[in-house]
Each structure stands twice: as structure tokens, then as C-alpha cells.
Amino acid sequence: MDAVDAGAADPERGRAARQSAEALLSALSLPSRGISYSLALPRYTGMPLFGSHPPFQVTMYRTPNGLRGDGEQPWGPVNEVNLGYMAEVVSGTSHSGAHVDALAHMTIGEDDHWYGGGNARQHLGDRGPTLGDASKLPPFITRGVLLDVPGYRQVDALPAHSPVSADELDAVAKRQGVTVQAGDVVLVRTGYLSQWPDPEGLARHVTAGPDISAARWLLERGVVACGSDTETFEVQPAPDLGIPANPQPVHTLLLIENAIYLFESLYLEELARDAIYEFLFIALPLKIKGATGSMLDPLAIV
């Protein structure tokens, strides 16, 4: 069964937006136990993030005391029950915690271009990219596959900067008895978030992940997206920079060149603990114009 409706092409959204009705219904039929797993950890002020990102902050904007002190009466002067409310400002990048990269997230070349023909000179304004931004992100309701690399190596978590190759992903899939199929979302566990939020523990396991051979393996199998529990998805530093040197060849091959969406900072510990390797994967991005990704609370349902 073809997972993609070839008649619904959309250059700003990629293959994930062309899921056929048959593939969607097939994915929805996967759960048999009625158990859901959240693949996100709570976000909080000062949470660990990739080093160059702005900090994530929650700041109160309205409180009962503040309303009183400012003389605000949002419901008018008649309020015999002292009704108040609270509202906050959430500040941070869309790449805070569990998230998906929009196609306009990564650029390359002298013209700073990205998938779908976007480039910084023509398609980047003061309010963000206008082509391939987060408002174009599709919903993800499809078959999910977990490849538990630490489980295969019989360790709690991969060492820092440890590459995961195509051969190893293939071996993990065979050991787990799963086959990666066209239209899947494949999630690669490194064990990084088993250390959350301990900074020293995280540092011992930082930026392990798929190398360029693993990226080619995923691409050849027709996945629409892939992800991991790290902040970078791919191993860093890249063991093979190529010619000319590219510090993130996996992002380039998958996101920039082929519109394969990347999920990062997904919490995969509970799935691995329960040996859940196939599931219904659901992630519904926020459609925010000009954003380069979307925070998520994805679900795995079995």
C-alpha cells in the first residue's frame, strides 16, 4: 500500500503532507491496548537547551494581586466574590524541549537557501521566513517505530558524541523484529534524556546520534520524519564532514534536500522500558507564521 498520495504534492510541506487516506486509516488501526505514552518532558524556566538558543522563560503577566494593585477591573466594578485570574508570557524558541523542525529551519549555501526554493534574500522578513515556515507544518498521524540503540548495545545511554551507523540501525531493527516502512516516523533512542535534567549526566551523553550513513538508510526506506531524544538529532561533531566540509550533513540531506522532518528532544525512556517498538505516532504542530519549528507533546499509542 502506498503511504503517499502522489496527487497532493506540496513543495512547502514535503512528503509528510501527502499521506494517503489508506495509510492514515492503517496507522489509526495500530493501537490494540489503549495505552498512550507522552514523548515530551515538562518545559520550565532555565531548562537545558542547545547552547545557541535563547532561554525558555515563563513570566507572569497578570495575577490577582497585580490586578488589584493596578486597579484593573476586567469584569467591571461588581465583583463580590473577588474573582481574579492569572495569565503568563511564554518566551523561548520553538525548539524548546520536544519539537519538530520546520523546513525553513536550516539553510545552506551562499544564498542561505532551504527546501522548496526558499532563500534568505527573497523569503526572510523581519517576522521570520515566509516560505516553509511553521504555519506550513503538517499533522503527523502515522506509524511510529522506535529503534533503541542503547538497548541493543546493552548500556543505559550512548557515550557523548557516539555515532550510530546504518549498519547498526539495521541490526537494531532486526533484533527488535521491526521493519521500517515508507511513511513511517522513526525515533532513535540514545538514552540522553535518561539523565534529565542533571547537567553533568547530560554532558556525559550529549550529541550522540545517527551519522550520514544512517541518514541515507532512513531516506532509502521512505520515512517522512525521524527523531531522537537529543537536541541535535545527528551525531556531533560529524565524523564525516564531506567535501566541502559540512558540520551537519544529516540535517542537510534529510531536512534541506529531501524535506524529511526532524523531531528532537523526544522523551523515549518509557517506550524503551516497555519494549514498545511499533505504535501510532501523533504530533500536531502549532501553526505559527514565521516560526522555524513547533514545540510539541507527541504521543505514542499502542
Predicted local confidence at residue 166, as pLDDT = 98
Predicted local confidence at residue 7, as pLDDT = 44
Residue in 41, 17, 33, 4 with CA at minimum distance from that of residue 298: 41
Q: What are the start-end ranges of the E strands in the chain?
A: 36-38, 57-62, 87-91, 99-101, 124-125, 128-129, 140-148, 163-164, 185-189, 209-210, 225-228, 261-264, 278-283, 293-295, 299-301
Read off the pTM. Answer: 0.95
Distances, alpha carbon 57 to alpha carbons 44, 45, 188, 285, 298, in Å: 7, 4, 28, 20, 21
Predicted local confidence at residue 2, as pLDDT = 62
Residue intervals of the chain classified under CATH 3.50.30.50 are: 15-42+94-301
Residue in 98, 94, 99, 101 with CA at minimum distance from that of residue 42: 98
Predicted local confidence at residue 1, as pLDDT = 44
Mean pLDDT by 10 residues, the chain (302 residues): 56 90 97 98 95 94 96 94 97 97 97 96 97 97 98 98 98 98 98 96 97 98 98 97 96 97 98 98 98 98 98
Q: For the chain, what is the mean pLDDT?
A: 95
Class of domain 15-42+94-301: alpha beta
Measured distance CA(123)–CA(12) in Å, rounded? 12
- Inter-residue contact 208 to 230 (CB < 8 Å): yes
Measured distance CA(290)–CA(104) in Å, rounded? 9
- pLDDT tens per residue, range 75-128: 999 999 999 999 999 999 999 999 999 999 999 999 999 999 999 999 999 999
Measured distance CA(200)–CA(135) in Å, rounded? 36
The amino acid that residue 164 corresponds to is V
Distances, alpha carbon 55 to alpha carbons 24, 93, 104, in Å: 37, 8, 21
Measured distance CA(193)–CA(158) in Å, rounded? 11
